[in-house]
Amino acid sequence: MITFPLQRTTPLPGGYMGKILRVNLTTGSLRDENLPEEPILRKFIGGQALASYILLKELSLEATPLGPENIVVMMTGPLTGNGFTPGGTKMTAVYLSPLTNTTLGRGATSGYWATYLKAAGYDGIILTGASPKPVYLYINEGKAELRDAASFWGLGTRATEDRLREAVGHREAKVLCIGPAGENMNRAAMLANDYNHFAAHSGGAVLGSKKLKAIVVHGTKRPSFRDKAKLVDAGWRWRQTLEQHDVKKKKTKYGHGEAWGVLNNLNWRSTELSPAHIHGFGDNDVVLRPCFQCARLCPWDAKLGEGEFKGTVVHFNAGGEWLDTFFNLGIKGNAVLYLAEKINNLGIECSHFSCGAGVAFEAWEKGLLGPDRTNGLKLEWGNVEAVGKLLEMAARREGWLGNLLAEGPKQLAEAIGGDAPKWAVHTKGGTPAMHEWRPMLGQMLRELVASGGMKPQGGGSTKPPPDLRYRETWGPLSADSPDGWAWSHVLSEQYRQFTGIFGGCWFAQMNQKPDGLNSIVDAFNAITGWNFTMDQALEAGHRSMILQSVFGTQRGWIADFDWQDVGPRFLEPIPDGKYKGFTIAKWLPDLIFEYYRLSGRHERTGRPFKNTLDQLGLEEFTPWSQEASQL
């Protein structure tokens, strides 16, 4: 079946606009493509799965991550922009990862940009080639054009958004852009949108290599739906499951690691959590922000009310990796929020910078790195001025250290030499989400088996979600035994994936509450007119997982890298605190082997078995099956 038919012969399901914009940045040509026919849409739906399928069909096996031959596919899903549910906000971009050179790169973002892309008439965008000069893409009410971006090149993400809205003459236009880190191809440069939102994991580097500064979208169209009454009901039920953020938490919370009582400190050498970490947070003026039609209120702004940077205005989303990023370098209090705003404005992924800078600070402490290679900076723990300058150096690849920070912690540690490679935290060259995961079996498994070039999905739970207990009867799992965690992670990866490919946001998916998954599937069915069961939704998530493996397999990745190519510090026993001595390493590689077996892939290669491909309707990828590799 042709991927993009010249004329559709099957009905367009609800929730889709019907078009993808193809942009050749080398030639400047722009062309509308019809969405695939209904059988392909029903199989891959949208988001990561449909985008990955397109990428697998189009990307050359000889492509390099920062070469013009790399392709970026951005896709929304049927839930995106529907307006009747929370969480219908997601756009996912996929490409060959600059962090690993072999695996799928993936960045996903919420806010308003994806909704406005659909309002402009498109479900997605395919970016090919590379422009000879800086440009931005402007899409307004179904019409697209490339415009000169010379006057915006060099700006941070905040000024870029403001200036481009002025340039297009629509204050309500939404901007997805790169900062200086993307322009200089820092390998972990992010895409930024709507001030508070970021698609991490290298998409910014790929757009920088293509000289594409931004994509500005504006429109007034709305996606269709098939059953309004059922959609309203499902949206109401979904909304009842939400756990709303509140201002008090932003003034008193240490970040995500507070849930299990540990933080990253001093390049992962301490798990201390103390009031000093959040000193001054209580004096800040905090305002919560919504995403499109979502009352969870994950994004937030603040005006710092205490300390050296009093009066600074900062903009964040939920998650909190940017807190641990600077705790890890010995920074505490409102200086953390000041630096977090700076890293977002430059457009650098938090963990990539922190894990690299952590190695540099430790090398300074132990005499392996001196001022001759730091541009004269004193890399002393807690030195706010030095960290701020390092951020600028990393964003612009300035000097020996700035260039290596832009490459990554693995490359920096190898360049420093001595024992430095033992201090690095990375997974296949990428970096984990910046939290102290090491006490958490399911989360550590998630971080290890993810592509290395994307936000890990899953992580498991001690008990199955209530909506899955019709088929899942295990639990509760033990925090200090590997038994059951591999399947728990596989299952959670499936429901995280289906939420994303539907166009929904993980942060709005309350899977441990009754109706937390059923309401999402019911909303999806009411929009599209399909009648997916929960098992079919999970199968769709599984299909996306397998496409991820096929993509890496084609480019030289094997599953053994998941436990062999890991920064040693990440697998060290926890150094202190209530989890002292704990490490997942004693159960490796067996736990990873089990994960791959349970998901229908070979435990050493990661290739899907032919039976897995057949069951998921992915027979066209049989040449990349485990059986084919043995012929």
- Burial class of residue 230 in the structure, from the number of CB atoms within 10 Å of its CB (0-12 exposed, 13-18 middle, 19+ buried): middle
Shared domain for 139 and 74, answered yes or no, is: yes
Specify burial of residue 372 (Cβ count, 10 A radius: 0-12, 13-18, 19+). exposed
Q: What's 468's domain CATH number? A: 1.10.599.10
**In terms of domains, do 446 and 418 share one?**
no
522 found inside a domain: yes
Domain with 193 in it: 19-218
Alpha-carbon gap, residue 267 to 420, rounded angstroms:
12
The CATH number of residue 65's host domain is 3.60.9.10
What H or E segment, with its residue span, contains residue 116?
helix 113-119
Residue 525 pLDDT greater than 90, yes or no = yes
409 and 452 part of one domain: no
How far apart are the C-alpha atoms of 267 and 563, rounded to whole Å? 21
SS3 per-residue string spanning 485-525: HHHHHHHHHHHHHHHHHHCCCHHHCCCCCCCCCHHHHHHHH
Q: Backbone dihedral region of 543: left (phi > 0), alpha (psi from -120 to 50 degrees) or beta?
A: alpha
pLDDT given for residue 579 in this prediction: 97
Last residue of a domain, one of 390, 423, 456: 423
pTM above 0.85, yes or no: yes
Instruction: State whether 212 and 341 are in the same domain.
Output: no
Handedness of CA 198, 334, 284, 241 (dihedral sign): positive
Within this chain, do residues 491 and 609 fall inside the same structural domain, yes or no?
A: yes
Within a domain: 47: yes
**Both tokens of residue 557?**
């990745």
Mind listing the pLDDT tens digit for each residue in 204-253? 999 999 999 999 999 999 999 999 999 999 999 999 999 999 999 899 98
pLDDT category at 452 given cuts 50, 70, 90 is low
- Could you report the per-residue pLDDT of 425-448, keeping only the tens digit for each? 999 999 999 999 999 999 999 999
Is the CB of residue 230 less than 8 Å from the CB of residue 525?
yes
Query: Residue 19 pLDDT more than 90?
Result: yes
Question: Could you tell me which residues are beta bridge partners of residue 192?
Answer: 177, 198
Could you give the CA distance from residue 212 to residue 175 in angstroms, rounded to a whole number? 12
Which residues 6+ apart lie within 8 Å of 294 measured at CB? 86, 87, 88, 89, 110, 242, 505, 508
User: Are 505 and 383 part of one and the same domain?
Assistant: no
**Do 348 and 480 reside in the same domain of the chain?**
no
For the chain, the domain total comes to 3
CATH number at 321 reads 1.10.569.10
Q: What is the pLDDT of residue 2?
A: 80
In a domain, 231, yes or no: no
| Structure tokens given for 223 | 């996606």
φ, ψ (nearest 5 deg) of residue 364: -65, -50
Q: Tokens 């002025």 identify what position? A: 166
Residue 86 inside a domain? The answer is yes
| Contact by Cβ (8 Å): 359, 374 | no
In a domain, 432, yes or no: no
Q: What whole-number distance in Å separates Cα of residue 422 and Cα of residue 359?
A: 9
**Distance set, CA 232 to CA 81, 83, 503 (Å):** 14, 10, 17
Express each pLDDT in 56-87 by its tens digit: 999 999 999 999 999 999 999 999 999 999 99
**Quick check: 307 and 333 in contact, CB under 8 A?**
yes
H-state helical runs in 263-416: 321-327, 334-346, 350-365, 384-396, 399-407, 409-416
Domain endpoint, select from 177, 202, 218 = 218
CB within 8 Å of 619: residues ≥ 6 apart: 613
Q: What is the pLDDT of residue 188?
A: 96
Q: Considering the domain boundaries, does residue 415 fall inside one?
A: yes
Which residue has 């799965």 as its token pair? Answer: 49
In the block, residue with structure tokens 């700006």 = 155
Q: How confident is the model at residue 318 (pLDDT cuts 50, 70, 90)?
A: confident
Structure tokens given for 147: 């415009």
Indicate if the pLDDT at residue 350 is higher than 80: yes
* Domain-located, residue 227: no
- Position 152 in a domain: yes
pLDDT in tens, 275-312: 999 999 999 999 999 999 999 999 999 999 999 999 99
**Hey, what amino acid is at 219?**
G
609, pLDDT greater than 90: yes
Same domain, yes or no, for 271 and 386? yes
Q: Are residues 545 and 505 in the same domain?
A: yes
Are residues 408 and 450 both part of a single domain? no
pLDDT score recorded for residue 454: 63
Q: Do 485 and 355 sit in the same domain of this protein?
A: no
Q: Could you tell me which of 592, 576, 521 has the C-alpha nearest to residue 263?
A: 576
Co-location of 411 and 347 in the same domain = yes
